[in-house]
Amino acid sequence: MADAPSRASQRVAIPAGRFDDAPFIRACRRQSVPHVPVWFMRQAGRSLPEYRAARGPGSILDAIAQPDLVAELTLQPVDRYGTDAAIFFSDIVVPVAAVGFGVDVTPGTGPVVAQPFRSRDDLRRLRPLEPEIDTPYVVEAVSQLAATLDVPLIGFAGGPFTVASYLIEGGPSKNFTKVKSLMHSDPKLWADLMGVLTTMAVTSLRSQLDAGASAIQVFDSWAGILAPQYYESMVLPFTKRLVAEVETSHPGTPTILFGVGTGELLPLMATAGTSVVGIDWRVPLDEARLRVGPDRAIQGNLDPALCLAGWDVAAEATREVLARAGRAPGHIFNLGHGVLPETDPGILEQVVELVHAEGRAGVEETIQEERP
Ligand code: 1CP
């Protein structure tokens, strides 16, 4: 680890804006595109046989700490599907695990915390993240990928609410009762915890952008569990700070904010400052466009479960998503949540082909046709 800074200084500089003409980046900016860009949340891993072959047994955190393996796993779905972006292979709990909070990721379950966050004393277990020391493998893998990829790399962080939910609940949760009770019984401690996690996310995202990521996504996956008024007062201010700080250090970087079950939160999420709002499958995209307003691109929103019902069903549902997205620029095709492990990769391959062939949102020729 002591050699991390020198390795960093030897890194080849990747010019910022290298992918400004890529359809994914252009769609994030609501610019015209040659075709609707597509990528899939959780496209790496899970359903790919080549993932299972390369990854082997053991905790995913061990895999994430091997830059060569991470680069390979990140590239696999891009090579197979022809997606317009790569999502960095890592996990939202990597920063908190790296500062020693005591988080593991159990196969079949997800993140598990040995001693969950309970009181003010636990804030001491969340020291500031130093990426070159704590997560040099992230910096290294992003650098390798930035030098190799011919599509933009999306870096990511967990939204502070979603990361806090794992720390407080101790693992995956259905009702988030412990989180909600801490939020409401000790709002000051909640704000302090959110502040620490926001800073950690910003630090991690900046390290990924410095190393060559072209865009970032904030996965606030479980924020949809909250009523709008509490999302607005107890989560959104931190998301706004996160986005503003990334914009300050890396101006113009496309940013995406995503959560599941956020139909009622979309108008608020649209004020967080990201270029794009991710939409789950519950809100049709024409309605989603109304909820997020004209200043944001949208990403989504094929129900991942419909990819399990055969190609005819998946094709019809894909066409429905494209039709609902309409012709206005600023649609990135995605699933409404992550790829399900039992998905046939062949179906996702066909979805990409169909979106590229038939997606019209922001397509230049369409815009010209519509000019008087
Ligand atoms: O060992 C394994 O292979 C376990 C499965 C797995 C994988 C492949 C986990 C455990 N994490 C990951 C990688 C991962 N996690 C990626 C890499 C890129 C990709 O898969 O394409 C990304 C982007 C994440 C992000 C992540 N982790 C989120 C946000 C996205 C989402 O799905 O909402 C969340 C909530 C996690 C926590 C997590 N990690 C792993 C699991 C099974 C879970 C979810 C557990 C739960 O339901 O609470």
Task: Write the pLDDT tens digit of every residue in 157-174.
Answer: 999 999 999 999 999 999
pLDDT mean over 48-68: 92
pLDDT tens-digit readout, 291-328: 999 999 999 999 999 999 999 999 999 999 999 999 99
pLDDT in the model for residue 46? 76
Task: Say how many domains are in the chain.
Answer: 1
Q: Which residues pair with 300 in a beta bridge?
A: 333
Residue 27 lies in a domain: no
DSSP letter assigned to residue 14? P
Cα 156 to ligand 1 centroid, rounded to whole Å: 12
Question: Across the chain, what does the average pLDDT equal?
Answer: 94
State the helix-helix crossing angle for 187-210 and 136-148, rounded to 10 degrees: 40
CA distance 226 to 268: 12
pLDDT tens-digit readout, 61-95: 999 999 999 999 999 999 999 999 999 999 999 99
pLDDT in the model for residue 4? 42
pLDDT in the model for residue 10? 45
Judge whether 192 and 123 are in contact, CB under 8 Å: yes
Residue 7 lies in a domain: no
pLDDT in the model for residue 364? 80
pLDDT tens-digit readout, 210-250: 999 999 999 999 999 999 999 999 999 999 999 999 999 99
* Tokens coding 148: 């190799």
For residue 269, CA distances in Å to 16, 123, 231 come to 27, 27, 9
Residue 24 lies in a domain: no
pLDDT mean over 119-142: 98
Alpha helices in the chain (DSSP H): 4-9, 23-28, 49-55, 60-64, 67-81, 94-98, 131-134, 136-148, 160-169, 177-185, 187-210, 228-234, 236-249, 266-269, 285-292, 311-325, 345-358, 364-370
User: Which among 105, 204, 258 is the best mutation to test ligand 1's pocket, defined by most ligand atoms within 8 Å of the CB?
Assistant: 105
pLDDT in the model for residue 101? 98
pLDDT in the model for residue 371? 52
Instruction: Decide if pLDDT at 206 tops 80.
Output: yes
Residue nearest to atom 11 of ligand 1 (CA): 91
Residue nearest to atom 33 of ligand 1 (CA): 221
Residue 263 lies in a domain: yes
Residue 360 lies in a domain: yes
Q: Examine the residue annotation and report whether 91 is marked as an active-site residue of this protein.
A: yes
**Ligand 1 lining (C-beta closer than 6 Å):** 42-46, 60, 87, 89-92, 105, 107, 110-111, 156, 172, 219, 221, 338
pLDDT mean over 128-141: 98
Cα 243 to ligand 1 centroid, rounded to whole Å: 22
CA 111, 70, 280, 250 torsion: positive or negative?
Answer: positive
CA distance 113 to 171: 6
Q: Examine the residue annotation and report whether 230 is marked as an active-site residue of this protein.
A: no
| Catalytic-labelled residue, pool 51, 81, 166, 231 | 166
Residue nearest to atom 40 of ligand 1 (CA): 110
Q: Examine the residue annotation and report whether 42 is marked as an active-site residue of this protein.
A: yes
CATH code, 245: 3.20.20.210
| Catalytic-labelled residue, pool 26, 30, 51, 55 | 55
Instruction: Decide if pLDDT at 372 tops 70.
Output: no
CA distance 104 to 93: 8
User: Which among 88, 90, 92, 218 is the best mutation to test ligand 1's pocket, defined by most ligand atoms within 8 Å of the CB?
Assistant: 92
Q: Tell me the percentage of the chain whose pLDDT exceeds 70.
A: 94
Residue 2 lies in a domain: no
Judge whether 277 and 257 are in contact, CB under 8 Å: yes
Q: Examine the residue annotation and report whether 29 is marked as an active-site residue of this protein.
A: no
- Lowest average pLDDT, out of 24-28, 104-108, 142-146, goes to 104-108
Instruction: Decide if pLDDT at 123 tops 70.
Output: yes
Judge whether 306 and 20 are in contact, CB under 8 Å: no
Residue 16 lies in a domain: no
pLDDT in the model for residue 225? 98
pLDDT band at 1 (very low <50, low <70, confident <90, very high): very low
Q: Examine the residue annotation and report whether 291 is marked as an active-site residue of this protein.
A: no
pLDDT in the model for residue 286? 98
Residue 4 lies in a domain: no
pLDDT in the model for residue 5? 40
Report residue 277 CA to chain centroid gap.
Answer: 11
pLDDT in the model for residue 6? 38
Instruction: Decide if pLDDT at 366 tops 90.
Output: no
Domain boundaries, position 346: 36-370
| Catalytic-labelled residue, pool 29, 46, 125, 282 | 46
